[in-house]
Amino acid sequence: MGHYRSISVTSEIVGGKKKLKVHNPSDYPMVGIGAQGAVFRLSSDRCVKVYDDPRTAYWESKALKMAEGVPYFPKLYETGDQYVVMEYLTGPNLQDYLAEKPGLTESFAEQLLGIVKEMRRLKFARIDTRTGHIIVTEGGKLKVIDHSGAYRTVRRAPFMLFKSLERDGCLDDFLKHVAERDPKLYAKWRRKRIEGADLADVPHLPSPDKLLKKAT
């Protein structure tokens, strides 16, 4: 079996959109691909993400390094010029999970709030994720993948998370939880949504009164 370092990823523009081309002479199976990189499973608990652009590898490894020891993030094992070896996370993503089992549990709501707070503490520029990038691992523990934009994209409130939760039918469950547990943070998010330009597709956040009344 060839070494995973023999895997390479390049990009081309097809119809105005970036598309990745994978060259994989190894036997490691590809488990996912996005716009920035392709992911290959190396063992039961390790995978490698290979990027077309070394800068993306740098930024993803930086984010994972900063998050070292935080249980919501995959462990970082090795960084190369155009790859990052990280913990392979087993389980469905939260989007698929919620499609099967509708409704956000209290534990999930609390963990989502924990994830966002960790991103703030780590001083990520993008305090955001989406349910498709959250893996429900054993024991219902949530972990977030795809951090190549964490220090490159600026977003001070988790608008993409709101959008994905709205699509998954759970936005009010989450907002209610935050309004109860951290009313100051909820007020900040509301303010950011009201101030924000170019947020036409991001749901408006109800006043805490309305939210807490509506949900009970």
Interaction of residue 60 with Mg ion, rule CB under 5 A? no
Question: What are the distances in angstroms from CA 119 to CA 1, 6, 21, 38?
Answer: 38, 33, 31, 24
Interaction of residue 128 with ligand ATP, rule CB under 6 A? no
**Residue 214: CB minimum distance to ligand ATP, A:** 32
Interaction of residue 31 with Mg ion, rule CB under 5 A? no
Alpha-carbon distance of 30 to 33, in angstroms, equals 8
**Paired residues of 41 in beta bridges:** 47
Interaction of residue 146 with ligand ATP, rule CB under 6 A? yes
Interaction of residue 64 with ligand ATP, rule CB under 6 A? no
Structure tokens at 157: 């409130």
Tell how many helices (H) and how many strands (E) occur in the chain. 7, 9
User: Using CB under 6 A, which of 48, 64, 84, 86 touches ligand ATP?
Assistant: 86
Q: Which of ligand ATP, Mg ion, none does residue 175 bind to, with CB < 5 to 8 Å depending on kind?
A: none
Residue (of 12, 88, 21, 19) closest to 49 by Cα position: 88
User: Using CB under 5 A, which of 60, 128, 146, 173 touches Mg ion?
Assistant: 146
Residue (of 81, 45, 48, 86) closest to 65 by Cα position: 86
Interaction of residue 37 with ligand ATP, rule CB under 6 A? yes
Structure tokens at 146: 């795809």
Q: Which of Mg ion, ligand ATP, none does residue 61 bind to, with CB < 5 to 8 Å depending on kind?
A: none
**Residue 105: CB minimum distance to ligand ATP, A:** 22
- Applying CB under 6 A, the residues found at the interface with ligand ATP are 31-37, 39, 47, 49, 74, 86-89, 133, 145-146, 148
